[in-house]
Amino acid sequence: MNANEVIESYVTDVAVQLPRKQRNDVAFELRALINEGLQDKADASGRAADAAMAVEFLNGFGRPAEVAARYRPTLTLIDPADGHAFLRAAGIGLAIIWIGGLFMRLQQPIGSGSDFLSALGQWWGATVIASLWWPGLLVVSFGATSWTRFRWPQASEWKPRAEDRIHGSRATLVLGIVGILCGTFALVDPHWLLDFFWAGRAAPAAYRALTYTDTFLGRQALVLLVLILLNVPLLLAVIAKGRWSALLRRMETGLGLATCAVMAWTVVDGPVFMAPGSDRTVKGFMVLIVAFTLIYDGIKLHRSVRPAPNQQGQLP
């Protein structure tokens, strides 16, 4: 090949990556630009341009895909400003999916090393590989957010916020208290759900599935009940104060970590329900609650600013 053939090959590789209506104009402009640059290189070297010199020059000019990108409008699926948030969301989501899937796989009977390896293989295929839907969903979500921000920039304008504000309103906290009390009532006597929906005619196996073991009732049950109910006076204090104070936030964090510790103890200590299926299900939910709580507290710690900015010199 001679220098002209090398240039034509390069120009073609660039042009075919562009919309059809742009190709001819870009090819004409690019060919002229390359010819001029290659001629300058040949003059500087004191010899005529050949194929080797053309290849060397074009390699320095950039890959065809990179050159084509200079002529195309920028396509941004994820706003660069959202890059770190995307990675955090992807990592946290995958960690929760993988840990939850591994826990469920290890709940099956394992009597030997081959059973353990088989469980890991099932976890890899059914959980890890299948979890790739999560990053894909995030790409679509972040892409839609970027497009919305571009389409309606006024909607994404920065607005100041108070760190001690109540998310939602006092009514939201009241609903939270009602939910805690109703959930606690259902947990104290799960048989009530069967009596309510089936008027006491549920199968004996259903009652057994919702019967706590004596071990759980004698160890963790009362502690968990107290920790759950302590959220009620905490939320009442927030409602009365109208905001989250630093002390209330610390109490919330401490209460959450204590609950996680007791739940972790419950998961590893022994069965919660008499029926193995119910026991695996409730322990799976406990693992997810612990994971979400620790991740949430970790994010709050990561986002905290300590020491606080100097308060001197503030505007009146």
Average pLDDT rounded to a whole number, residues 127-143: 85
Average pLDDT rounded to a whole number, residues 99-111: 77
- pLDDT for 258 beyond 90: yes
* Segments making up each domain of the chain, as ranges: 3-71, 76-158, 160-305
How confident is the model over 168-218, as pLDDT tens digits?
Answer: 678 888 888 998 888 888 788 887 777 777 777 778 888 888 889 999 999
Dihedral of the alpha carbons of 33, 35, 40, 45, in degrees to the nearest 10: 140
- pLDDT for 248 beyond 80: yes
Q: Supply the angle between the helices 20-45 and 3-15 in degrees, to the nearest 10.
A: 150
Highest mean pLDDT: which of 3-7, 11-15, 229-233, 266-270?
Answer: 229-233
Max CA separation in the chain (angstroms): 100
Give yes or no for a contact between 40 and 101, defined as CB atoms under 8 angstroms apart: no
d(CA 5, CA 12): 11
- Buried-exposed string 304-314: b where 16+ CB fall within 10 A, e elsewhere: eeeeeeeeeee
Q: List the structure tokens of 260.
A: 């996680």
Distance of CA 75 to the CA centre of its chain: 23
Paired strand residues for 212? 273
d(CA 194, CA 264): 28
Check residue 315 and give its pLDDT.
Answer: 44
